[in-house]
């Protein structure tokens, strides 16, 4: 299908304390903070974006940080696992690093011919590190605390946990252009477009699992990539025709977005690749200053007073400026 989705654009999750979140994803996992901005729908709170050097679509994990937000519950109707690629030879490094940093993990385990370490972030969000051949060819952030040869290489898969998978599977295959790639136990793996890591989605059929509750430590939504605004408009038309209650196009400054719920209840977004994260700051300075969309600039002073002060990683090192 000519208007296929290209893969995962980003995953957005919910965190409690923004400082703890920044410290974990930059200083422990070694991702780059590529944008420090506010939640455009709730500008008195941060929206934190992590990714590779440029924040390419397919490498991005983002957080709404809401101090004091209740703890969420993992369950069905949710993205329950967010998986990242790591180079095949880096498993021992990561076992050592997580142990040294006091991060508990499980594994290594085998799945779909890959080797997987599973861990939780400080809010309980489940993250996997998936070692596989040729991961080293994917982009990374090489100037953080993790040496380039071991650094995380962008998103690999998201796991959708569902009561029943059929209607979700049908949306993925019949509408969004995914193909069934394989099955292991109750997990069905699909891929889209050129396939491979960041173009996978795993659907876990778990009728015995409790319904999830989206709050801290859970994923808020997953976004899929579309190359242009024209394709996005086409998607809007397709989804509206399927009665999926799709939103109008929303300007997220770094990409344009439409949202809808898939039949299992998970919030999906379709986001454009352009314009990207260098639209308001140069590559070297990504994530080093609070950036606001033009319509919030008049409130900058007021917002700066409400938002908690953050110690940011020093530009170009990924290491906390305070450490």
Segment lying near Zn ion (by CB under 5 A), choices 65-73, 93-101, 223-231, 301-309: 223-231
Q: Binding string to Zn ion for residues 244 to 283, with x set by CB under 5 A, is what?
A: -------------------------x--------------
Nearer to Zn ion, 206 or 214 (CB): 214
- Torsion angle of the four alpha carbons 225, 271, 29, 305, in this order, in degrees rounded to the nearest 10: 170
Q: Binding string to Zn ion for residues 8 to 47, with x set by CB under 5 A, is what?
A: ----x-----------------------------------
Among residues 147, 138, 149, 140, the alpha carbon closest in space to that of 53 is found at: 140
Rounded to a whole number of angstroms, the minimum distance from the CB of residue 321 to Zn ion is 28
Q: Decide if residue 4 touches Zn ion (CB under 5 A).
A: no
Rounded to a whole number of angstroms, the minimum distance from the CB of residue 267 to Zn ion is 9
Q: Decide if residue 85 touches Zn ion (CB under 5 A).
A: no
Nearer to Zn ion, 187 or 267 (CB): 267
Encoding tokens for residue 114?
Answer: 């890959």
Nearer to Zn ion, 81 or 206 (CB): 81
Rounded to a whole number of angstroms, the minimum distance from the CB of residue 271 to Zn ion is 6
Asked if the bond preceding 275 is cis, omega within 30° of 0, the reply is: yes
How many residues bind to Zn ion according to rule CB under 5 A?
Answer: 3
Nearer to Zn ion, 114 or 269 (CB): 269
Nearer to Zn ion, 114 or 121 (CB): 121
Return all residues near 241 (Cβ < 8 A) that are at least 6 apart: none
Nearer to Zn ion, 201 or 223 (CB): 223
Q: Decide if residue 223 touches Zn ion (CB under 5 A).
A: yes
Residues of this chain that bind Zn ion (CB under 5 A): 12, 223, 269
């Amino acid at each position: 299908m000519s208007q296929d989705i290209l893969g995962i654009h980003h995953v957005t999750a919910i965190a409690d304390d923004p400082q703890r979140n920044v410290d974990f994803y930059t200083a422990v996992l070694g991702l780059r903070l590529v944008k420090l901005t506010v939640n455009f729908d709730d500008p008195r709170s941060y929206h934190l974006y992590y990714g590779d050097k440029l924040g390419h679509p397919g490498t991005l994990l983002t957080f709404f940080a809401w101090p004091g937000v209740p703890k969420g519950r993992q369950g069905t109707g949710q993205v329950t696992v967010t998986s990242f690629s790591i180079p095949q030879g880096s498993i021992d490094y990561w076992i050592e690093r997580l142990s040294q940093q006091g991060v508990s993990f499980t594994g290594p385990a085998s799945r779909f011919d890959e080797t997987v370490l599973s861990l939780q972030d400080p809010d309980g969000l489940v993250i996997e590190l998936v070692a596989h051949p040729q991961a080293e060819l994917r982009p990374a952030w090489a100037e953080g605390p993790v040496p380039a040869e071991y650094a995380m290489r962008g998103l690999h898969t998201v796991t959708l946990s569902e009561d029943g998978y059929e209607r979700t599977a049908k949306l993925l295959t019949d509408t969004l252009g995914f193909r069934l790639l394989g099955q292991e136990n109750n997990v069905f793996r699909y891929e889209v477009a050129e396939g491979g890591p960041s173009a996978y989605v795993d659907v876990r059929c778990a009728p015995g699992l409790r319904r999830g509750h989206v709050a801290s430590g859970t994923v808020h939504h997953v976004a899929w990539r579309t190359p242009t605004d024209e394709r996005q408009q086409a998607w809007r038309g397709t989804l509206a025709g399927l009665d999926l209650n799709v939103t109008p196009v929303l300007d997220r400054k770094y990409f344009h977005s439409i949202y809808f719920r898939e039949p299992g209840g998970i919030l999906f977004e379709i986001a454009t690749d352009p314009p990207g994260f260098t639209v308001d700051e140069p590559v070297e300075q990504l994530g080093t200053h609070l950036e606001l969309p033009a319509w919030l600039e008049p409130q900058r002073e007021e917002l700066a007073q409400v938002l908690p002060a953050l110690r940011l990683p020093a530009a170009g090192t990924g290491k906390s400026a305070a450490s």
